[in-house]
Amino acid sequence: MKRVSLTQHLVEQQRHNNAITAELRLLIEVVARACKTISHSVGKGALGDILGSAETENIQGEVQKKLDVISNEILLEANEWGGHLAAMASEEMETIHPIPNRYPMGEYLLMFDPLDGSSNIDVNVSIGTIFSVLKAPEGMGAPNEQAFLQPGTQQVAAGYAVYGPQTMLVLTTGKGVNCFTLDREMGSWVLTQRDMRIPEDTKEFAINMSNKRHWHAPVQRYVDEMLAGKTGPREKDFNMRWIASMVADVHRILNRGGIFMYPADMRDPSSPGKLRLMYEANPMAMIVEQAGGAATDGNGRILEIVPHKLHQRVPVFLGSKNEVERVTAYHQA
């Protein structure tokens, strides 16, 4: 079989469909290269002194793991000098990171969750990197946080890398979803799945059940009906998976269907759930929609939410279309 590399795939997209600009191609290649470096670090584990806590807190008040900090630095360094970006923003940084003056400024904005699934690092379970790309608003001048506050529909590219038994990169530029596997010997990304599609129906759900007592009524109803199985209103048995790395859960759903939920709950009525809109929910929502699935916050499309702050949180329901539509309808009932 003839192998298609990430570079070749992107060049073809640029040439035939005019789907991406040369600058966006460079951006994606640089992010992919940074993910390769992160994957290499992840693979070293205790031998690379990358496990454990960094003993610092990020803006979300979460204790940072060493690998959160390392991955953030790898992504920042890789993307600073290429001339394709105006600024970056990350889960691990309070404010935006403008491109230093010594480098040329490009027209794109990059956001990332450098290391998703931090609680799984030290136990050798799949983790990942999530990223989202926007265009800087025209005539923006010096980049500021406001420039990033665009709805997810404006994303020009989104993707994630998953560091599991295999390292994979899943990418969309708005023309379907493709998956690349890292050839560890050659150090190259090879196209291994074209145009991934999420089955519309599923018998598998993913939610952190330990929060059940805190859920709102629509989520209680939806999950209870699934748990009731064959003799319940759904008349079929469901299976459950929860990896606690969104990348790994979404990757499973892209491959065989399923619904992933991280709802808001009653613990803190002012908090709309755990996941962050700009660099977790939006890129995943774009990928899932591009693969024929759906992604809502229980009310409407995640991608249509107009953000008001960089680190804003959002309830997330995404995956197989018919299931996401059902739980969303329960919120409106």
Residues that bind ligand AHG (CB under 6 A): 91, 113, 116-119, 208, 244-246, 274
3-state secondary structure of 193: strand
Nearer to ligand AHG, 76 or 99 (CB): 76
Closest distance to Mn ion from the beta carbon of 280 (Å):
5
115 in a known ligand binding site? yes
203 in a known ligand binding site? no
68 in a known ligand binding site? no
HSE, side-chain direction, 13 A CA sphere, residue 148: 28
CB within 8 Å of 110: residues ≥ 6 apart:
27, 31, 79, 85, 87, 88, 89, 131, 132, 133
Cα-based distances in Å from 43 to 34, 213, 254: 14, 37, 24
Nearer to ligand AHG, 87 or 261 (CB): 261
Site residues for Mn ion, 90-129, by CB under 5 A, read 91, 113, 115-116
Nearer to Mn ion, 115 or 248 (CB): 115
280 in a known ligand binding site? yes
Can you tell me the distance from the alpha carbon of 63 to that of 79, in angstroms, rounded to the nearest whole number? Answer: 25
Burial string for 222-244 (b: 16+ CB within 10 Å, else e) reads bbebbeeeeeeebeeebeeeebb
**Interacting partner of 191 out of Mn ion, ligand AHG, none (Cβ under 5 to 8 A depending on kind):** none
Closest distance to Mn ion from the beta carbon of 92 (Å):
7
117 in a known ligand binding site? yes
Nearer to ligand AHG, 143 or 263 (CB): 263
Question: For residue 57, which amino acid is it?
Answer: E
Q: Give the residue nearest to Mn ion (CB).
A: 116
Closest distance to ligand AHG from the beta carbon of 113 (Å):
5
24 in a known ligand binding site? no
Nearer to ligand AHG, 121 or 294 (CB): 121
Cα-based distances in Å from 31 to 143, 157, 276, 294: 20, 11, 20, 26
* End-to-end Cα, the chain, rounded Å: 51
Closest distance to ligand AHG from the beta carbon of 271 (Å):
13
Cα 192 from chain centroid (whole Å):
19
Q: Does 249 help bind Mn ion (rule: CB under 5 A)?
A: no
Closest distance to ligand AHG from the beta carbon of 250 (Å):
9
Strand ranges for 73-136 from DSSP E: 85-90, 97-98, 108-116, 127-135
Nearer to ligand AHG, 190 or 314 (CB): 314
Binding residues for Mg(2+), by number, are: 91, 113, 115-116, 280
Give me the residues that bind Mn ion (CB under 5 A), please: 91, 113, 115-116
**Residues tagged in the binding site annotation for substrate:** 116-119, 208, 274
